[in-house]
Structure 1
Amino acid sequence: MNIWLWMIAAVIAMIVTGWAMWGTADTTLARHEVIRRLAAQPLRQRRHKRQ
């Protein structure tokens, strides 16, 4: 029974992740842009301080 539950959970996880990747590609790209901006902010501040 546990094996079947794990298989069903894996299938559901694959469907959810697949739908998220294909259905919300715009939101994922926006999240990547936000992450890049947040990661670039401290680097920019350090560069300004060095200059």
Structure 2
Amino acid sequence: MNSIIFHGDLFVAELGLEPGAARLVKVNDTERTTLATGLAVPVGIAATENDLWVSG
């Protein structure tokens, strides 16, 4: 698992219980949104001022 704050929201790379079940989730005060599913294994999240990347 990995996480980063980007533009005021928390982005979390979550491992799944099965191969290909990992996902990227955006979390804020009011909601939790899945942004990407089916990732093999998200091993990192990186950001610049305007861009967010996840490796998987």
Q: Is the pair's TM-score, using the shorter chain for normalization, greater than 0.5?
A: no
Higher strand share: 2
Structure number with bigger Rg: 1
Higher relative contact order (CA 8 A, sep 6+): 2
Higher helix share: 1
